[in-house]
Structure 1
Amino acid sequence: MFITFEGGEGSGKTTIIAKLKETLEQKGISVVTTREPGGSSIAEQIREVLLNNKNTDLKPHTEALLFAASRAQHLDEVIIPNLDKVILCDRYIDSSFAYQAYGRDLGMDFVKKVNDYALCYMPDLTFYIDLDHEVGLARVSKSRSHKKDRLDSEQTIFHDKVRSGYLELAKTEKRYKVINGNQDVESIYNEILNVILERL
């Protein structure tokens, strides 16, 4: 199964994915965890450009193309070779739909066009952990290790559009499971684990 996790900072994605990997492996299931942008050496270098706070002049179309390039590399190096396992991926193409098509107002047609290759490898299941952006950032700000990246630093109106984008996608995509992000991480983890085990 190819399973993706979407949601803003502070939604607990990273913690939940790590816990799921441990639990599933204890049950004898082969698991690969990865992330976007990034997941492979070249894709991680593109991630540095995308999230660097110095790159304030990065244009919306360039941003979308860089995400697509990172994704293509990630697909070839990580996703496609491991489709016989359970893949837990922190973000995937839905991030481009929400952030670039909705957040940047580039539209779905453009984002789908530049991500044409990725559309051949869609997730079997996508969890969107729904949480208000301000609540999520307040959570992560308590962590000394967290630094706001270029996208975190966007205005609230941008993040509101991103959230609306995710919720619109959830209305039309059967693979979506919307999870209430206001719960504690353990409750979110258990809810997601139960869905995965049922599918497996």
Structure 2
Amino acid sequence: MTAGAFSPTGLFVCFEGGEGGGKSTQSGLLREWLEAEGHTVVLTRQPGGTSVGQRIREIVLSPETGELSNRTEVLLYAADKAEHVDTVVLPALARGEVVITDRYVDSALAYQGAGRTEAVAEVEQVNRWATRDLRPHLTVVLDLEPQAGLGRFEERDRIEGESLEFHQRVRQAFLDMAAADPDHYLVLDARATIASIHEQIRVRVASLLVTA
């Protein structure tokens, strides 16, 4: 991937990975720790971190939506990211706050690119433009075998209901992105205990706060 822009103020942390890996749990724990340390934190998600994004989320995740053109899906997710970055992420970073997001551009590359077997370079181009090429200072990948992650859901949304092969491609895409840029990624085994995962994340984020 091409070099992107990192915010000169604030700290931008992203949680990525397949289904059922504990992103919501760990992002919430990170916010609690950071707030206890005196930081102002914005915890958000994609899709759905804005009112516009919530409408998009309903379209792309509801099983009632049915089949969408792959290109339509790419553009809908990119529109969510554009609104999210312009109205939530960038303003918070400009105020010097910590932004934690549950999913970001890597999810588009993994799901709409590798998962849908679309040209990842084209998906990336659309998403980098939509997000003004803003990159997280750290992306935490919670890695879990798709069989285990999907087994944690009694009901599945439109994306969770995709084939096992789809989710295997998604998982490998996340691992490949992390391997290509280890300075900005932290890959953790999502089968570990919640406490041990949180501790590893906390150590890595603390080092970023020192250098910020």
Task: Provide TM-score, normalisation by structure 1.
Answer: 0.93
Measure how far apart 1:119 and its partner are: 4.9
Q: Are residues 1:193 and 2:202 paired?
A: yes
Q: 1:136 — aligned with what?
A: 149
Moved more, 15-24 or 155-164: 15-24
Q: 1:2 — aligned with what?
A: 12
Q: How does 1:19-98 map to 2 (within 5 A)?
A: 19-83=29-93, 84-98=96-110
Look up the equivalent residue of 2:109 and give its one-letter code.
F
Look up the equivalent residue of 1:176 and give its one-letter code.
Y
Q: 2:6 — aligned with what?
A: none
Look up the equivalent residue of 1:180 and give its one-letter code.
D
Measure how far apart 1:140 and its partner are: 3.8
Task: Provide TM-score, normalisation by structure 2.
Answer: 0.88
Q: How does 1:101-120 map to 2 (within 5 A)?
A: 101-115=113-127, 116-120=129-133
What is the alpha-carbon distance in structure 2 between the residues aligned to residue 121 and residue 52 of structure 1? 28
Task: Give the gaps of 5 or more residues in structure 1.
Answer: 142-146
Q: 1:150 — aligned with what?
A: 158
Could you list the per-position Cα deviations for residues 57-108 of structure 1 after superposition, in whole angstroms to 9, with x for gaps in the alignment?
1111111110000100111110010012111100000000111111111122
Instruction: Give percent identity, aligned residues only.
Output: 39
Name the count of aligned residue pairs. 195
Q: Residues 150 and 73 (structure 1 numbering): CA distance in 2 closer, same or farther, change over 3 Å? A: same
Q: 2:5 — aligned with what?
A: none
Could you list the per-position Cα deviations for residues 161-190 of structure 1 after superposition, in whole angstroms to 9, with x for gaps in the alignment?
001111111121231111111112221111
Task: Give the gaps of 5 or more residues in structure 2.
Answer: 1-10
Q: 2:3 — aligned with what?
A: none
Look up the equivalent residue of 1:69 and give its one-letter code.
A
